[in-house]
Chain A
Amino acid sequence: MQVGLMVANNVIFYIMWWLFFNEFTTVGGWQVKDMIALLAIGGGSYGLMAILFGGTRDLGKLIINGNLDPFMTQPKNLLLHIAGSKSVAKGWGNLLTTLFLLFFGNLTDPKTLSLVCLSLCTGCLVFTSIRIIAHSMAFWLGPIESLSERYTDSLFLFALYPTNIYSGILQLVMFTLIPAGVITYLPVELIRDFSWEKVFILLASGSAFSAAAIIVFYRGLKRYESGNQFGARV
Chain B
Amino acid sequence: MLQKFNKYAAIFSLTFNQGLKNYKLLFGLSLFLITCLIIFAHLWKVAAIRTHTDFNPETLLWYIAFNEWILISIPEVQKEMQEDFQSGRLAYLLPRPISYLGAVFAEGFAQLVLQLVVLGSVTFLFAFLWTETFPLTFLQFALMLLLGLCAGILGLLLQMLIGLSSFWLHDVTPVNWVWEKLLFIFGGLILPLSAYPLWLQKVAALTPFSPILGGRSGLIFGFDQSQIFSLFGLLALWFIIGSIALKLVYRRGLKILNISGG
Contacts and interface: CB of A to CB of B under 8 A. Distances in A.
A24 B43 CA distance: 15
B72 interface: yes
A20 B28 contact: no
Interface in B4-61: 22, 24-25, 28-29, 32, 35-36, 38-39, 42-43, 46, 50-51
Contact of B28 (A13, A27, A141): A141
A232 interface: no
A contact residues, range: 35 or more
A6 B28 contact: no
Given A8-B178, A9-B181, A23-B195, A166 B28 contact: no
B76 interface: yes
A170 B36 CA distance: 11
A129 B190 CA distance: 26
Interface string A7-40: 0110011001001100110010000000000000
A2 B39 contact: no
A170 B38 contact: yes
A9 B32 contact: no
Contacts, number: 87
A19 B177 contact: no
Contacts of B177: 5-6, 9, 90
Given A12-B181, A12-B185, A90-B174, A147 B39 contact: no
B50 A27 contact: yes
Given A12-B178, A12-B181, A165-B43, 18 more contacts: A1-B169, A1-B174, A12-B182, A24-B51, A88-B173, A90-B173, A90-B177, A93-B174, A141-B24, A141-B28, A144-B25, A144-B28, A146-B25, A146-B76, A154-B32, A157-B184, A161-B43, A173-B35
Interface of B: 22, 24-25, 28-29, 32, 35-36, 38-39, 42-43, 46, 50-51, 72, 76, 79, 169-171, 173-175, 177-178, 181-182, 184-185, 190-191, 195-197, 200
Top 3 closest pairs, chain A to chain B, by CB: A5-B174, A147-B28, A9-B177
Interface of A: 1-2, 5-6, 8-9, 12-13, 16, 19-20, 23-24, 27, 88-90, 93, 137, 141-144, 146-147, 150-151, 154, 157-158, 161, 165-166, 170, 173, 177-178
